Structure 1
Amino acid sequence: MKVAALDLGTNTFLCLIAEGDKNGITKVHKDLVQVVRLGQGVDKTGEFHPDALIRARACLAEFKKEMDAQKVDKILAMATSAARDAKNGKELFKIGEDLGIPIEIIPGEDEARITYQGGTVGLEGKDKVSLIVDVGGGSTELIVGKANQILFAESLNIGAVRLTERFVTVQPIPAKEQEGVTQFASSELDKVLGEIRKHKVERIIAVAGTPTAIVAVEVGGFDEKKVDGYFLSKERLQFWVKEFAQTSVEEKKTKYQLGGRADIIFAGASILLAVLDKLSMNGMYVSTKGVRYGVALEMLQTP
């Protein structure tokens, strides 16, 4: 069966077109990504910005052309934080209806399982207690699991877009604004730290655009073989947080090729660093997989 699995995030839309069966994914045909910034202004207004909805429609129309060309058997798009928060969230579902792309909001308990399954695809050592950290635009998902069992899951309202819009007014970023991001992320993490520590986490696996973008800079450009499974040390992450704070958005685009992620990468990296600090870990593994892989597995395993 050939499926199209979409992850409609607060910052980025992803579309995985893959083939497989109930035992898993056997071939990836396309793995598409576009920075849409669906969550533009949602933290302040509680609504999707009209421009964000225009970008969302354009992106999904492009994805649909590729799905049609690939003759997929099944399509499913999962929407997370921004669609949950927006008062006019129905506008996004209307776009999906118009284009023939079914969109669902992931229920919290399913989101944890789907993210965990997707984030651990292809990784060795599944018997280790792993913490998946998925820094999105609007929220950060924290999922502790071992083998196929979820031990703890929580979604916190700390995302790269949300914290940038809330605290950052200019880049390079003044020390006071850097502190605002760090302290808020730290205080939110404190709410779940006790529960996470109970499970004696052996490794952290970071998924989504923030960690993969940082590693791409580390290795000299995005190469999935080099990025997937890369160990990003705490020391290097500290370096990048400092570097992203001290550079303009334009410098981050030209010097580090960060594109539409350039203005929010500081906040995203700061969240990752706060997780390492809180758990006294010396680094994290980075996975290029994530929700879209989990969604694809769901479709392949469900008749």
Structure 2
Amino acid sequence: MIPNKAAIIDMGTNTFHLLLVELYENRFETIYKEKSPVKIGQGGISNNMIHPDAEKRAFYTLQHFKNLIDGEGITNIFAFATSAVRNADNGAEFVEKIREKFKIYVNVIDGEEEAQLIFEGIRLSGALNDQTSLMMDIGGGSVEFIIGNQQQAFWRKSFEIGGQRMLDLFHYHDPILPEEVENLTVYLSEKLQPLAEAIQHYQPTGLVGASGTFDTLSDIYYASLHQTKQRTEQVFQLPREEFEIIARKLLTLNKEERLKIPGMIAMRVDMIVVASCLIEYILKLLPVNILICSNYALKEGVIARLMGKDSLATVESR
């Protein structure tokens, strides 16, 4: 059977991802993948705008992605935009410009759909079992939470409290000040009240973090052990105690010092502080000793749908 090739573009608030794959009936093979710190939310997310500089970075990256897609002869392109675009007053105009410039049709998805795709991606990674887990994906604009197991998601919700938003609201000093952490924690307890109620109701006993911040935290942990992750693995464990050591360290270092931490990457260095504060807050609500880190998230959820391994509708394409 000749596989279908597909390109998935995940236009996140902080990072744009490109994934080129060959799709088979029960598996997929990655041809190429790349991520770029476009930071489309920078300079405008708090005003519900895509800043002209952010638009320039986005177009530069999309041109590069389109060249790679065309080079592989791929015509099936599935592009998704999330929090920064769906909340921007000029988001529809931005998407129309992309269609005109690159012939790429961008599907702007709502928070619930984003959470569902993340769930399907995590499930494809093999990170779930029969136990009920809380899943989370910390984006630049929004954070998605899902409660479920490998069979189904019982509850899912998106909160517009992503890393760029938390940075803009609370992280004024570097290193972050204790009172800024305190103000952030108060903010989280207010915003995440529906999550606290859902945790109480469903009683999850595991925590699974998807990509982004969790990839970097587990990279830092592996580097501290002088180990490297195996490329064939998609799921990694980060002991809670080790996470807490890393998180405490991040609070005391400035950007330059954080960049020197083995395993740290430049595109995560700003948001990782507030993201770690969020994880710390979530851990107070859950009885877990190990954080499970899934390499797969939204874009792999799209692949799960393309292979028919989803529990909902198929992906839109034009």
Could you tell me the TM-score, scaled by structure 2's length? 0.88
Q: Which moved more, 1:127-136 or 1:218-227?
A: 218-227
173 and 91 in structure 1: CA distance in 2 versus 1, 3 angstrom threshold: same
Q: Which of 232, 244, 253 is equivalent to 2:250? A: 244
Deviations 1:90-123 (A, max 9, x none): 2431342111222111134432221101112231
Deviations 1:160-192 (A, max 9, x none): 111011111121111111222223223322332
Aligned residue pairs, count: 302
**Distance (Å, rounded) in 2 between the aligned partners of 1:224 and 1:142:** 27
2:182: which partner in 1?
A: 179
Whichever structure has more helix as a proportion of its residues is 1
Contact 1:212 1:286 in 2 (8 A): yes
**Distance (Å, rounded) in 2 between the aligned partners of 1:170 and 1:287:** 31
**Distance (Å, rounded) in 2 between the aligned partners of 1:271 and 1:174:** 15
124 and 195 in structure 1: CA distance in 2 versus 1, 3 angstrom threshold: closer
1:292 matches 2:299 = yes
**Distance (Å, rounded) in 1 between the aligned partners of 2:127 and 2:292:** 11
Q: Which of 110, 117, 127 is equivalent to 1:114? A: 117
Which residues in structure 2 correspond to 1:70-149 (within 5 Å)?
Answer: 70-97=72-99, 98-123=101-126, 125-149=128-152
2:66: which partner in 1?
A: 64
Q: Which moved more, 1:159-168 or 1:279-288?
A: 279-288
Which residues in structure 2 correspond to 1:1-303 (within 5 Å)?
Answer: 1-21=4-24, 23-97=25-99, 98-123=101-126, 125-220=128-223, 223=229, 225=231, 228-256=234-262, 257-301=264-308, 302=314
Contact 2:128 2:149 in 1 (8 A): no
**Distance (Å, rounded) in 2 between the aligned partners of 1:291 and 1:24:** 18
Q: Which moved more, 1:146-155 or 1:283-292?
A: 146-155
**Distance (Å, rounded) in 1 between the aligned partners of 2:182 and 2:129:** 36
RMSD: 2.1
Deviation at 1:124, TM superposition (A): 5.5
SS in 2 for 1:278: coil
Contact 1:129 1:201 in 2 (8 A): yes
SS in 1 for 2:124: coil
247 and 189 in structure 1: CA distance in 2 versus 1, 3 angstrom threshold: same
SS in 2 for 1:152: strand
Q: Which moved more, 1:30-39 or 1:41-50?
A: 41-50
**Distance (Å, rounded) in 2 between the aligned partners of 1:72 and 1:297:** 18
Contact 1:42 1:85 in 2 (8 A): no
**Distance (Å, rounded) in 2 between the aligned partners of 1:16 and 1:282:** 32
**Distance (Å, rounded) in 2 between the aligned partners of 1:173 and 1:224:** 33
51 and 134 in structure 1: CA distance in 2 versus 1, 3 angstrom threshold: same
Deviations 1:50-82 (A, max 9, x none): 111111111111111111112224111111111
Contact 1:41 1:165 in 2 (8 A): no
Q: Which moved more, 1:224-233 or 1:12-21?
A: 224-233
Quick one: percent identity of the two aligned structures?
Answer: 27
3 and 224 in structure 1: CA distance in 2 versus 1, 3 angstrom threshold: farther
Contact 1:160 1:267 in 2 (8 A): yes
Q: Which amino acid aligns with 2:48?
A: G
SS in 2 for 1:230: strand
2:311: which partner in 1?
A: none
**Distance (Å, rounded) in 2 between the aligned partners of 1:75 and 1:197:** 40
**Distance (Å, rounded) in 2 between the aligned partners of 1:29 and 1:168:** 38
Contact 1:11 1:136 in 2 (8 A): yes
Q: Which amino acid aligns with 1:264?
A: M
Contact 2:13 2:84 in 1 (8 A): yes
213 and 202 in structure 1: CA distance in 2 versus 1, 3 angstrom threshold: same
Greater RCO (Cα-Cα under 8 Å, separation 6 or more): 1
